[in-house]
Amino acid sequence: MSELVPNGAAGRRRDAFGASGSGDTSGFGGLVAPPPVLTSSERPFGDEQADTVYDALERAFPGLEEAIERVVFDRGELTLHVRREHLLAVARTLRDDPALRFELLSSLSGADYLDDPSGRRLHSVVHLASLTYRRRIRVEVSVSAEDPVMPSLTPVWPTADWHERETYDFFGIIYEGHHALTRIMMPDDWEGYPQRKDYPLGGIPVDYKGAQVPPPEKRRSYS
């Protein structure tokens, strides 16, 4: 949003957030987002299923406050931010406790929050489903790029197998205890992890049925 400021007979535009000289009157040129505050949601969450799941986990897992660094309820979803050294114990409780019964790991993926204030930018995000109670939750573990190691969930949920390989392939998270942690999408000799935020955006030439496709920065521009 911008506003027209009188200046004699003519007018000049002033951006809503103080940006000037860029020709951008949207205001976003001067907008600086505040760093996120990493805090837990207040209990009770105001959602019966989320409160039921967390109450059951508290009863089943002694020392839960030490194992879980944050618990967030947002947009109808409960996320447990688990410390990596407690991941397997929490996972087995979520699967085996009669009041929880999260039998299915439906997906596991990676995320790179380059400016994460904790310094642990690489996140492994797990979606769990209870077929018994028809509930879903998210479990998230974060590690640094310098020490990107966490336990594999394949001993608890075998469906984590290919998901962990893909996350390793693209983000470089090492799932300790995985029986075959190798690349699954990129060539075996590929260097780097393409979905990290600091991965270069250039390209490499590609051979396709005898024709070579140049990397993106060397293709003809139509602009």
CA 69 to chain centre: 16
- pLDDT tens across 115-133, in order? 888 899 999 999 999 999 9
The predicted pLDDT at position 115 comes to: 85
SS3 184: coil
SS3 126: strand
**Residue 24 confidence (pLDDT) above 70:** no
- The Cα–Cα gap between 163 and 169 comes to 10
- pLDDT tens across 164-203, in order? 999 999 999 999 999 999 999 998 988 899 999 988 876 6
| Span of 58-72, 93-107, 152-166, 193-207 with lowest mean pLDDT | 193-207
Looking at the domain 48-150, which fold is it?
Beta Polymerase; domain 2 (3.30.460)
| Percent over 90 (pLDDT), the chain | 66
The torsion angle over the Cα atoms of residues 180, 86, 72 and 56, rounded to 10 degrees, is 110
Q: How confident is the model at residue 218 (pLDDT cuts 50, 70, 90)?
A: low
What's the pTM value of the predicted model, to 2 decimals?
0.77
